[in-house]
Structure 1
Amino acid sequence: MSEPTFAPDPVVDDPTTEHLRGSLPGRLILAASRRGEETALLQKDLGIYVRYTWNDYVDAVGAAALALERLDVGKGSVVAILSDNRVEWVVADLAVQALGGVAVGVYPTNSAQEVQYVLEHSGASVVVVEDQEQIDKVLQVRDQLPDLEHIVILDPRGTRGYPDGFVTWRDIVADGERRRAEDPSFLTRSVGGLDHTTTAVLIYTSGTTSHPKAAMWSHRVMTAQADRLVETYDMSARDTVLSYLPLSHGAERLVTELVALTTGGRVHFGEALSTVQADLAEIGPTLFLGMPRIWEKIRASVEKDLRRSSALKRSVFAFCLARGELLVERSTRGERRWSDPLTRRLIDLLAFRALREHVGLNRAWFVMSGGAPIGPELLFWIRAIGVPVVEGFGLTEAGVTHLAPPGSPPRIGTVGTAFDDVECVIADDGEILLRSATNFVGYLGDPQATTETLTDDGWVRTGDLGEVDDDGYLRIIGRKKDIIITAGGKNISPAAIENAMKSSPFISHAVPAGDSRPFISALLQVDWETTGDWAAQNKVAYTSFEDLSSKPEVVKLIDDEIARGNELLARVSQVRAFRLVPKQLHQDDGELTATQKVRRKAVLEKFAHLVDDIYERS
């Protein structure tokens, strides 16, 4: 495994506070020493939240470290975690890091073949799996994994009668707890011996165009990311977060581990990604990270409820939304009227305070959208209802590098300014280049890709095109590799088109086409829930997703939605024709990544006949 060229940290037998702050396990030790019996983690068990204190947290990591050491996990060992978000996920992750090992999260939605790729590519010697569903995937490909020595299962229900070859988390941790009682200082000693420049975790990229690459993050990279965010926005132990996005994703790891271990804040583990809206409403976090698809679902849910409400309620909401959008528009321009606070209080009283409480965002003061571009129209809607969302920019190879400065008015359409410690320049071809302490170490086992992304003088080539205005605000144009060049020679970014189309609650995915063609077209997937609800209300009978998508009434509905979406686009970028795909795009069919991003090339190839039909008919 390739490591960075920084001078290594010295081994410390009696680590100082400063040395402990240099790693996440060290920050856990410090937090436990200061906060002891305060609540650190909450996890639902049979509908009831179970509380874990900071003492419980650090004790669990200490026992898990000793348990994993018994499985020969040590410096440089790779341990994979194949599970939904839960307490044991972060405990195992921190235990591996404390031993000097390398932890790698595997998306629980991955197929057996995708699991095999990550375990084989990373060289994992141990995999921690959640349950029967996940162990089945590993056992299916076990013969192709020569480096894999141990399988540890968290919940063994349903595995009675399975062949030998795995151990339970409960059994190995019980042994670790006995050893911890005999050697209570083991964890601190082990963390004191960490070299903070070595790789601590692997974060696999989305792999929208090829196999995912494994970005190496060192201890130093992670603590620098945490300090950047916490210090800039003055986050504290009073803050709470909902952990719901897969921890395999760098963004969720940032809020669940990096920030919470730095501030001493509280982490709630939701029941599942599918229950995020209910969990959000129940928990009411102060910090919230939402991917665009989450915001789309929240708005679609609100609009669905409105369609079923009385005419009076719809009128009141429309009145309040129009006033809220005016406030956002003026704020974006840096304007402020004496009556604006009164207007905000009025519309909150009439509609939005109750709405924010309903969706669980009434207490949220730091709200970020990231992971993929979000449409300006959707951002306007979210801010209009009083949620202070900002769009950020970051990537696996550089961390979060841009956000709106604290206390500044939003500039919708931009991703904010670079943090003070981040250098950002625009190359001659328009590509965004970044340099800071949070740049990744490199790609595991792929020196060519590392060289293509990370320059000798420390710049990360992001692959994104962008513009920086006179005030330092960055606007993302789109991915270099995704640019559509029409037959007329126009260069068009598909991201803006996708967001304009998905501003409709009835459109779930949009894939623009038009390379070497005379105009822009799109393949669209209707949103199963909202479109199905609309069909039921309008007495349009259907039997399946394919049947729903083929109904003339639904095609007309989507045609009207596209006309509205086109109003947000320059004429050359407007969608002139479309086809509805007859199925829901899915990761198992190679159409979506594990992070639910569309694999544009794969979708365009699979449904090439629909695209060809558009242009043949034109």
Structure 2
Amino acid sequence: MTVTRTFDLLSHQLRKYPQPDCLAAKVNNNWVKHSTQDVQDKANQISLGLRKLGIKKDDKVAIISFNRPEWVLVDFGIQQLGAVSVPMYPTITVEDYRFIFNDAGVSVVFVADSALYNKVSAATAGMSSIQGIYTFDQVQGASHWSEVAQLGEHDDPEELEPLKAAVAPDDILTLIYTSGTTGNPKGVMLTHNNLVSNLLGAMPYVPVDHTHRALSFLPLSHVFERMLLYLYFYAGVSIYYAESIEKVADNLREVQPHVFATVPRLLEKVYDKIVAKGMELTGIKRKLFFWALELGLKYDTQANQGWLYEQQLKLANKIIFNKWREALGGNVRAVVSGGAALQPRLARVFWAAQIRVMEGYGLTETSPVIAVNRWEPENNMIGTVGPAIDGVEVKISPEDGEILTRGPHIMKGYYKQPELTAEIIDRDGWLHTGDIGEIIGGKYLKITDRKKEMLKTSGGKYIAPQMIENKLKESVLIEQTMVVGDGQKYAAALIVPSFAGLQDYCQFKGITYTTDEDMITKPEILEKFQREIDKANEQLAQFETIKKFKLLPKLWTIESGELTPKLSVKRRIITARYSNEINSMY
């Protein structure tokens, strides 16, 4: 039997790689494991229960929860009826929930806990279309998700077969609302074939099999982790769900995974913590640490750096980098990075430490993977997002350098918005990504910037802000930054310091640390940041250099509305919020 719809993955794994720990999560400090058979049985019960609630093909069911096995069980339960899942981030606003429930025509909602239950109850007040809200945790006064499963507990799963047979590969599997930086979110229609083709296209390049474990912590409501979920099912990889982002470090040591997916921001934090610990060392240990780090920063997957370098790197791996691998559990074969640009220095140092980071690229609208760097060094070019995966076409527009892509991974369109769909997918089936890029060495795709985010100075020069921001963030003192200067004489930057890094610096220099707000006004601190900026400017063209900067006292967050769920900066919102600070630099 071939996998043509995502729910086929259940019977595929059951037949080829039945696992005792297909899915696992911590409950009361213990890892609770669900076998492949448990997952299939529970998904069947949910399908049968939802059918009793009146859910049928093409009906919309929302899932709002952090990652946990229940998310997956409900997802498969929805799919087997030919219904459409509408996953949402737990962090979005009540207004966004209300808009999506109305726009998608959601009938039933599954939520994680009491906080989300209250939020969704407020969002659905007065909405007659919502038939029920079910919680994964036990919540006073709320219906529990197990009630849906119990409705189908005694029915024959064979009754689902004609319903499953009626689901075509080109039917909509899921509606994912993208959190645009402007206007209302748009519903991306992804089909079963979109996700299946993407997992099969990426599968040969992810070095995992049925003997391996994955740790999952990126949101399942985002298509990146969702596609990997299905890829893990196909390969028979056991999936362990992290307790929270804060506990990822602990869970890595406990689970000892062979693979996990992440966004660059988390790798930056891991790196900064490692460097901070290195700063605390003294004497020979400190010298060895920074010697190893310097070696790592010179690493290149594409170059043979000679016998001496290789011998030094072997020694560095034996005495320094082995501790880095232990911190990730000791078994990691690959780390898949996506969602934003990865700083090349991070890729270099992790590869040098035998932690193979595979940077990839894609969009919600492309299910998501367009290209990914490979696990083998000879097919991995640091600073690029790798070659296109199997079945995916990529070309660069000769007019403006925009990346275009075509293939079975392209969405069906934006839900109820044919005009917007026609704007992004042309008559020949090419999807216009909105990213600017180039192809290096005939196969490696390199992203240079967002088409819409390019700044144009009053002198007529175009500036790619992301590239400059990544250069600035190479400093251990810079946590977040946004380059500004559209229509101005020069580029400037808003900077949120890494306050932990700043405290370490002050301690090292014997500077008394008072408060975050106070420290960013001190002349000696401003001088230090100027030196960090001067260092980044050395690698930039004259018209790109940062002429002025402003330090800000508070981190930008998803909750404050300044970051997207993928941790990208919302430029329009930050520009409006900090207009006084920006204007003062001009």
TM-score (norm 2): 0.94
Matched, 1:170 2:146: yes
The residue number in structure 2 matching 1:414 is 384
The residue number in structure 1 matching 2:264 is 292
Give the SS at the match of 2:559: helix
The residue number in structure 1 matching 2:364 is 396
Once residues 338 and 224 of structure 1 are traced to their aligned partners in structure 2, the CA distance between those partners, rounded to angstroms, is 42
Once residues 234 and 187 of structure 1 are traced to their aligned partners in structure 2, the CA distance between those partners, rounded to angstroms, is 34
Give the SS at the match of 2:157: coil
Alignment of structure 1 residues 135-154 onto 2, 5 Å: 135-143=117-125, 145-154=127-136
Q: Which amino acid aligns with 2:214?
A: V
Is contact 1:366–1:389 with CA below 8 Å preserved after alignment? yes
Match of 2:345 among 353, 370, 377: 377
Mark the CA change 1:89 to 1:535 in structure 2 (over 3 Å): closer, same or farther.
farther
Once residues 527 and 32 of structure 1 are traced to their aligned partners in structure 2, the CA distance between those partners, rounded to angstroms, is 47
Matched, 1:588 2:559: yes
Mark the CA change 1:561 to 1:281 in structure 2 (over 3 Å): closer, same or farther.
farther
Once residues 30 and 251 of structure 2 are traced to their aligned partners in structure 1, the CA distance between those partners, rounded to angstroms, is 12
Query: What is the deviation of 1:189?
Result: 4.3
Once residues 536 and 278 of structure 1 are traced to their aligned partners in structure 2, the CA distance between those partners, rounded to angstroms, is 28
Match of 1:217 among 190, 209, 220: 190
Once residues 565 and 148 of structure 1 are traced to their aligned partners in structure 2, the CA distance between those partners, rounded to angstroms, is 53
Q: Which amino acid aligns with 1:584?
A: L
The residue number in structure 2 matching 1:76 is 58
Alignment of structure 1 residues 32-47 onto 2, 5 Å: 32-36=14-18, 38-47=20-29
Matched, 1:426 2:396: yes
Q: State how many pairs are aligned.
A: 582
Once residues 56 and 492 of structure 2 are traced to their aligned partners in structure 1, the CA distance between those partners, rounded to angstroms, is 54
Give the SS at the match of 1:128: strand
Once residues 540 and 215 of structure 1 are traced to their aligned partners in structure 2, the CA distance between those partners, rounded to angstroms, is 52
Is contact 1:152–1:169 with CA below 8 Å preserved after alignment? yes
The residue number in structure 2 matching 1:8 is none
Once residues 124 and 321 of structure 2 are traced to their aligned partners in structure 1, the CA distance between those partners, rounded to angstroms, is 53
The residue number in structure 1 matching 2:279 is 307
Once residues 297 and 335 of structure 1 are traced to their aligned partners in structure 2, the CA distance between those partners, rounded to angstroms, is 29
Q: Which amino acid aligns with 2:348?
A: F
The residue number in structure 2 matching 1:351 is 320
Which structure 2 residue ranges, 5 or more long, are not aligned? none
Q: Which amino acid aligns with 1:368?
A: V
Mark the CA change 1:311 to 1:104 in structure 2 (over 3 Å): closer, same or farther.
farther
Match of 1:240 among 210, 213, 234: 213
Query: What is the deviation of 1:103?
Result: 0.6
Q: Which amino acid aligns with 1:613?
A: S
RMSD: 2.0
Query: What is the deviation of 1:106?
Result: 0.9
The residue number in structure 2 matching 1:513 is 484
Once residues 520 and 512 of structure 1 are traced to their aligned partners in structure 2, the CA distance between those partners, rounded to angstroms, is 7
Is contact 1:126–1:149 with CA below 8 Å preserved after alignment? yes
Once residues 71 and 560 of structure 1 are traced to their aligned partners in structure 2, the CA distance between those partners, rounded to angstroms, is 64
Is contact 2:207–2:333 with CA below 8 Å preserved after alignment? no
Give the SS at the match of 1:125: strand
Match of 1:564 among 531, 535, 554: 535
The residue number in structure 2 matching 1:7 is none
- After TM superposition, the structure 1 stretch with the greater mean CA deviation from structure 2, 556-565 or 46-55, is 556-565
Is contact 2:85–2:173 with CA below 8 Å preserved after alignment? yes
1:478-527 superposed Cα distances (whole Å, 9 cap, x missing partner): 01110011111110110101111111232222110111111110111123
Mark the CA change 1:380 to 1:407 in structure 2 (over 3 Å): closer, same or farther.
closer
The residue number in structure 2 matching 1:251 is 224
Query: What is the deviation of 1:28?
Result: 0.7
The residue number in structure 1 matching 2:414 is 443
Alignment of structure 1 residues 90-169 onto 2, 5 Å: 90-143=72-125, 145-157=127-139, 159-160=140-141, 166-169=142-145
Mark the CA change 1:528 to 1:145 in structure 2 (over 3 Å): closer, same or farther.
farther
Give the SS at the match of 2:4: coil
Once residues 313 and 50 of structure 1 are traced to their aligned partners in structure 2, the CA distance between those partners, rounded to angstroms, is 41
Which structure 1 residue ranges, 5 or more long, are not aligned? 1-16, 161-165
Alignment of structure 1 residues 259-270 onto 2, 5 Å: 259-270=231-242
Q: Which amino acid aligns with 1:238?
A: T
Is contact 1:510–1:525 with CA below 8 Å preserved after alignment? yes
Query: What is the deviation of 1:554?
Result: 3.9
The residue number in structure 2 matching 1:4 is none
Q: Which amino acid aligns with 1:282?
A: E
Mark the CA change 1:358 to 1:376 in structure 2 (over 3 Å): closer, same or farther.
same
Once residues 277 and 560 of structure 1 are traced to their aligned partners in structure 2, the CA distance between those partners, rounded to angstroms, is 32
Q: Which amino acid aligns with 1:205?
A: T
Alignment of structure 1 residues 325-364 onto 2, 5 Å: 325-326=297-298, 328-329=299-300, 331-332=301-302, 334-335=303-304, 337-339=306-308, 341-360=310-329, 362-364=330-332
Mark the CA change 1:112 to 1:551 in structure 2 (over 3 Å): closer, same or farther.
farther
Once residues 557 and 88 of structure 1 are traced to their aligned partners in structure 2, the CA distance between those partners, rounded to angstroms, is 49
Query: What is the deviation of 1:587?
Result: 2.7
Q: Which amino acid aligns with 1:154?
A: F
Q: Which amino acid aligns with 2:526?
A: V
- After TM superposition, the structure 1 stretch with the greater mean CA deviation from structure 2, 392-401 or 306-315, is 306-315
Is contact 1:296–1:505 with CA below 8 Å preserved after alignment? no
The residue number in structure 1 matching 2:12 is 30
Once residues 378 and 35 of structure 1 are traced to their aligned partners in structure 2, the CA distance between those partners, rounded to angstroms, is 35
TM-score (norm 1): 0.90
Once residues 279 and 553 of structure 1 are traced to their aligned partners in structure 2, the CA distance between those partners, rounded to angstroms, is 40
Is contact 1:247–1:253 with CA below 8 Å preserved after alignment? yes
Q: Which amino acid aligns with 1:483?
A: M
1:97-137 superposed Cα distances (whole Å, 9 cap, x missing partner): 11101112111112222222222222211110111110111
Q: Which amino acid aligns with 1:411?
A: M
Query: What is the deviation of 1:473?
Result: 1.4
Once residues 407 and 140 of structure 1 are traced to their aligned partners in structure 2, the CA distance between those partners, rounded to angstroms, is 50
Is contact 2:113–2:137 with CA below 8 Å preserved after alignment? yes
The residue number in structure 1 matching 2:296 is 324
Q: Which runs of at least 4 in structure 1 moved beyond 6 Å after TM superposition?
A: none
Identical residues among aligned pairs (%): 31
Once residues 527 and 348 of structure 2 are traced to their aligned partners in structure 1, the CA distance between those partners, rounded to angstroms, is 26
Once residues 130 and 534 of structure 2 are traced to their aligned partners in structure 1, the CA distance between those partners, rounded to angstroms, is 54
Mark the CA change 1:207 to 1:145 in structure 2 (over 3 Å): closer, same or farther.
farther
Query: What is the deviation of 1:528?
Result: 4.0
Once residues 145 and 561 of structure 1 are traced to their aligned partners in structure 2, the CA distance between those partners, rounded to angstroms, is 54
Give the SS at the match of 1:429: coil
Give the SS at the match of 2:125: helix
